[in-house]
Chains A and B, each alone.
Chain A
């Protein structure tokens, strides 16, 4: 079973993503409400992938990603950024960070698991 870590400061986004991935794909979900909590959860629970919001108070998604890359225990976990920014310049900036992919809010709860699988090249 896949295990996904969702990092987002908004409770409802975490809840919708979690119920979506649990119900439609049967994946196990771990959730964290900040970048710092996400780094800790990633180190402790070693998820198969991380879905992380870009705009969070305190440490934002790109900063959290850069910190993860400096930790050899978690630097190999693929990270997908989640953003409501629709402008191309923002999308390119996020992609240039070296993340595995960028997904957009609002996501469709019925197809979120497919989007993640597609972005990560998962066949199952």
Chain B
């Protein structure tokens, strides 16, 4: 591995830690949307906000090596494009998304 690659990898790891509050905010929006959908009342504004957050996560997670996170985020973005996204699928994907970026013990 070259020095430039080592340096980039180290900086990416630091940046991943730094952006955790942003990632958590985006997950929180998805959690709220999922909970609202489960209760049968997902407002359009919240759905669109959640879709936008899924889009941003899709574009970002893979940069840090979380390719599965990007794949799940894209599926969420498409699901949230529907006026009434299937609540069970939404909940499953949000859970899988969190798991995909959580280090395994």
Establish whether residues A107 and B58, one from each chain, have CB atoms under 8 Å apart when the complex forms: no
Within 8 A of B (CB), among A1-54: 10-13, 15-16, 19-20, 23-24
B28 at the interface (CB under 8 A from A): no
B62 at the interface (CB under 8 A from A): yes
Q: Is the interface of B mostly helix, strand, loop or mixed?
A: helix
Which of B11, B19, B56, B62 is the one whose CB lies under 8 Å from A19? B11
Contacts of A16 in B (CB 8 A): 12, 15, 63
Binding site for A on B (CB under 8 A): 4-5, 7-8, 11-12, 15, 18-19, 22, 55-56, 58-63, 70, 74
6 further interface pairs, Cβ-Cβ under 8 Å (given A12-B18, A13-B60, A105-B63): A10-B59, A11-B19, A20-B8, A86-B74, A105-B60, A106-B62
Can you list 25 A-B contacts with CB-CB less than 8 angstroms, sorted by A residue number? Answer: A10-B59, A12-B15, A12-B18, A12-B60, A13-B60, A13-B63, A15-B15, A19-B8, A19-B12, A19-B15, A20-B8, A23-B8, A24-B8, A55-B55, A84-B56, A84-B58, A105-B60, A106-B58, A106-B59, A106-B61, A106-B63, A107-B63, A108-B63, A109-B12, A110-B5
Binding site for B on A (CB under 8 A): 10-13, 15-16, 19-20, 23-24, 55, 84, 86, 105-110
